[in-house]
């Protein structure tokens, strides 16, 4: 049996949840804050 998802935690880690309703469309999802931070850090590091 799959592990339960902590929905409250997932919403708190996903900034886009505060502003939009995003239905699961073909497996697409809003990006959680830790992933956004990592991507932004990588782009900024490579831009130097």
At 7-47, the pLDDT tens digits run: 889 888 888 888 877 666 666 777 889 999 999 999 999 99
CA distances in angstroms from 9 to 4, 5, 31, 33, listed in the order given:
12, 9, 14, 12
> How far is the C-alpha of 17 from the C-alpha of 25, rounded, in Å?
15
Residues 6+ apart with CB under 8 A from 18: none
Threshold 0.95, pTM exceeds: no
For 1-48, list the strands marked E by DSSP: none
Q: List the structure tokens of 29.
A: 């999802």
């Amino acid at each position: 049996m799959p592990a339960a998802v902590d929905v409250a935690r997932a919403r708190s880690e996903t900034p886009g949840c505060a502003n939009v309703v995003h239905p699961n469309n073909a497996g697409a999802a809003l990006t959680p804050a830790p992933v956004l931070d990592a991507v932004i850090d990588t782009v900024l590091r490579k831009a130097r």
